[in-house]
Structure 1
Amino acid sequence: MLITTKAIVLSKLKYRDNDLIVKCYTQQLGVVSFLLRGVLKNKKGSAKVAYFQLLSQLQIVFLYKNSRSLQTIKETKLNCIYTSLHTHVLKSSIVMFLSEVLANTLQEEEQNETLFSYLENTLLWLDSQLEYSNFHLLFLLKLTKYLGFYPDTTNVEYPFFDLSEGKFELKSNNKYNISGENLVLLKLLLGTTFDELPNIKINAKQRQSFLSMILLYFELHLGSFKTPKSLQVFNQVFS
């Protein structure tokens, strides 16, 4: 079956000497992996590889066979051209970090239009912004809505948040209850849009602390989630 769809590149991996395995999140089928044969062999192939930078937004045509774990792409073109996402050092660090998180968390081989739209639009927003130091925090928090464990805000005025249960509590009853600065920032971000994000001012230490907390939140709710390998470098860039 020949399928035409938008796709966002999540990861790429060299395979053998000249091949590349690319994992994408597609609008039509969710997560799909592709084998690009011979693309590392010559200059013509190198031009094709340039399409598959992390979190690039593509329009692809591919031959889908249910029995195969790796599909074959027939045509590729850029669906949008980023102006800064792959060329600005800080933004490219965000791209590397978030692509690793997404490759780790997105496993479903099924259509999810709202999630695809979220990824598509937030990446375009980031590409256009001059102030984005807290982008990854709000991005991850809002991503939990599509993954099924967005915080329950019913009792948002309570003084503790239970990471393991995903809800606010009156009392601290286990080691996964948070309070203090992380709780204040969580409440702020829950009521914030991306356009309002520049109004939230926090320092590097607070940013790192909140990021560690939200990654723990992912770990508690997604059994297969692993701490991103790029986290240490990412924290250094944003320190």
Structure 2
Amino acid sequence: MQTKTKAIVLSKIRFKDNDLIVKCYTYNHGIVSYILKGVLKSKKNNKKIAYFQPLSLLELETDHKDNRSLQYIKDLKTSFLYSSLHTNIVKSAIAMFLAEILSQALKEEEQNIPLFNYLETSFMWLDESSQISNAHLLFLLELTKYLGFYPDDSEIDADFFNLLEGQFQYINNSKHCVSGENLTLLKQLLGTDFDALNQIKINSKQRQQFLKMLLQYFDLHLTNFNQPKSLQILNDVFN
């Protein structure tokens, strides 16, 4: 079936000698993997490969068949041209990290318009904003809304947050309970939007510790979640 869809690039891997497999999160079909045959054969295809940088926003014309594991792209173009996401060293590190997280977290091969819209608007904001040092923290926290484990904030005044249960509580009854600076920052970020992020001031160590907690939270709630390989690069750019 000939179809057009917007797509967000999550990953690409070499296949055989000259082919490329690109995983995207699409507006129409959720997670889809595309094969680009022969694209690595000659230098003239370098321009086409450049479309598939982490989190690139594309519009694809495809020959989509539901019973096929690898789909084919007939034509493509950029749906939003980033001005800094792939050229600013900090933003590109964030993009690489978030793309790796999304590659693990998103599994559904079905349409989810609210999730796609959240991803698209978040990455546009990241490209256009200059206050981005905490953007990945808020992005991951907000992403849990769409993954089904957003923190229950009905007892937000409590002294602990239970990562396994996903809720605030007044007693420390589990090894998964957190308190201290991580708890304070969690409470600050809940209900905050991207435009208000510059009001939250934390240092590099606090940022790394909170991110470590968030990754633990993802690990507890997602099957086969692995520590992102790009985490060290991300930490390095903030030091």
TM bucket normalised to smaller: over 0.9
CA distance in 2, matches of 1:33, 1:169: 41
Which secondary structure does the structure 1 equivalent of 2:194 belong to? coil
**Residue in 1 that maps onto 2:135:** 135
More displaced stretch, 117-126 vs 36-45 = 36-45
**Residue in 2 that maps onto 1:8:** 8
Give per-residue Cα distances to partners, 1:108-156, cap 9 Å, x unaligned: 0000000000000000001011111000000000000000000001110
**Residue in 1 that maps onto 2:103:** 103
User: How is 1:50-199 mapped onto 2 (pairs within 5 angstroms)?
Assistant: 50-199=50-199
Q: Partner amino acid for 1:167? A: Q
CA distance in 1, matches of 2:78, 2:223: 34
C-alpha displacement of 1:3? 1.4
Give per-residue Cα distances to partners, 1:32-81, cap 9 Å, x unaligned: 00000111111332111111111000000111122211000001000010
Identity %: 58
Which secondary structure does the structure 2 equivalent of 1:161 belong to? strand
Give per-residue Cα distances to partners, 1:180-217, cap 9 Å, x unaligned: 00000000000211000011000000000000000000
More displaced stretch, 215-224 vs 35-44 = 35-44
C-alpha displacement of 1:223? 1.6
CA distance in 2, matches of 1:161, 1:87: 37
CA distance in 2, matches of 1:99, 1:152: 26
C-alpha displacement of 1:166? 0.2
Q: Partner amino acid for 2:187? A: K
| Structure 2 unpaired stretches of 5+ | none
More displaced stretch, 57-66 vs 140-149 = 57-66
CA-based RMSD of the aligned residues comes to 0.7
**Residue in 2 that maps onto 1:34:** 34
CA distance in 2, matches of 1:86, 1:233: 15
C-alpha displacement of 1:225? 1.1
Q: Partner amino acid for 2:197? A: L
**Residue in 2 that maps onto 1:25:** 25
CA distance in 2, matches of 1:91, 1:220: 27
Q: Partner amino acid for 2:190? A: L
Which secondary structure does the structure 2 equivalent of 1:68 belong to? coil
Which secondary structure does the structure 1 equivalent of 2:161 belong to? strand
**Residue in 1 that maps onto 2:212:** 212
CA distance in 2, matches of 1:66, 1:223: 24
CA distance in 1, matches of 2:8, 2:211: 24
CA distance in 2, matches of 1:98, 1:123: 10
Which secondary structure does the structure 2 equivalent of 1:195 belong to? helix
CA distance in 2, matches of 1:43, 1:118: 35
Give the TM-score normalised by structure 1: 0.99
Q: Partner amino acid for 2:158? A: Y
CA distance in 2, matches of 1:50, 1:72: 17
